[in-house]
Amino acid sequence: MSRWQQNRSMSRMSSRSLNLKRPKASMAVWPKCDWYNLRFMLRVIFSELMANTAIIFTLVHYNASFPHSLPIAVPAAGVFGWAVWVCGPISGPQVTPIVPVALVIMRHITIIHALMVVIGQFLGSLFGYLLAWALRPDNHPSTHGTNYGLTVIHHVTVGQAFGLEFLAAFWVILAVLATLDEFRPSAWTQGHITSFYAFFALTIVWLAAVVGHYTGASIHPFRSLIPAIFGNNYTDVWIYFTAPFLGSVVAVFVYEMIMSDGASVARIKAWFTDRNFDRHLDYKKLEQEGDI
C-alpha cells in the first residue's frame, strides 16, 4: 500500500471516529453552524411538510356527504395517526403550529427548531391544499364555489366558536405534554411514544366528533388560512388563529404548574429565570433537601 493510500485510509478512519463522537442532533439543543445540523433541520422541515401535506389533503379532499361515507372524524383520525407513526422519529411530527409554540415555552425545543417546524407545516399545508384542489372531484359539495376547504362556523356564535377551538387546542396540547412529561410515573410511560399515534388518533376522533360540526375542529391555523387566501374569504379566520394559540399557552401553564408531578415553586422559578434550566432535574426534591 502506498503512503498516499495509507494517509487516505487513516483520514477515513479519523473521520468516522469523529462522526461517532459527535453528539446526536436534537431540537432541544441550539444547533451549531455545520452541515450535520443543517441536514437535521432540513429533515425536520421535510418531515413536517410530508405530515401536513397528507393531513390537509385528507381534510380538504374528503367528501362526507355521500350516503355511505364515514364521518370526517374517522379519516381525520387515520391520517393524524399515520403522520405521527411515519414522521414521529424525525420531528414528532408536531403537525400544527400550536405544538411548537407550546414546546418552546416549555423549553423542550429551541426557537430556531420551532421556526423550521412551522416552515415545514406551512409548506405542507399549502401543498396539501393545492393537491386537493388539483384532484378535486366534480361531486364535491364545494368544488364549484369559492369556499373549497374553508373552515366555517355552523349553528354557534362567534364567542362559542372561539371557546370550542380554544378547548380543542387546550385538550390536544395537554395530551402532548402528558406524553412528554419527564416525571410521569413509569407505569404510564412504558411504550408511551410508540403507542402515542393510536392515542392521538383517538383524541382526534373525539374532538372532530364533538367540535367538528360547529367549527371544523381546525386546531391548525394554516389549515384555515390557506383556503381563506385562495378563496379570498377571511370571515372569522381570526378565531382559528387566536383561539388555538391561546389554548396552547394556557395548557402549558396549567400542566407545568399544576398537573405535572415535577411541579413546584422552585421548578417554576428556574423555568423562567435559569438559563440552564434542566427539564429532567427534580427541583421539588432539591428544594425539599435544601439544595436550592
pLDDT at residue 74 tops 60: yes
What digits encode the pLDDT tens for the residues 239-272?
A: 999 999 999 999 999 999 999 988 888 999 999 9
- What's the confidence (pLDDT) of residue 19? 53
- What's the confidence (pLDDT) of residue 4? 47
Q: Which of 158, 125, 119 is nearest to 230 (CA)?
A: 125
Highest mean pLDDT among 3-12, 77-86, 175-184, 248-257: 248-257
- pLDDT band, residue 2 (cuts 50/70/90): low
pLDDT at residue 47 tops 80: yes
Task: Give the percent of the chain with pLDDT over 90.
Answer: 52
Task: Summarize the confidence of residues 146-156 as an average pLDDT.
Answer: 86
Query: Which is more confidently placed, 26 or 244?
Result: 244
Query: Which domains, from first to last, does the chain contain?
Result: 26-286 (1.20.1080.10)
pLDDT at residue 83 tops 80: yes
CA distances from 233 to 4, 128, 239, 290 (A): 67, 19, 14, 59
- pLDDT band, residue 18 (cuts 50/70/90): very low
Query: Which is more confidently placed, 20 or 47?
Result: 47
pLDDT at residue 215 tops 70: yes
pLDDT at residue 201 tops 50: yes
pLDDT at residue 286 tops 70: yes
- pLDDT band, residue 193 (cuts 50/70/90): low
pLDDT at residue 155 tops 90: yes
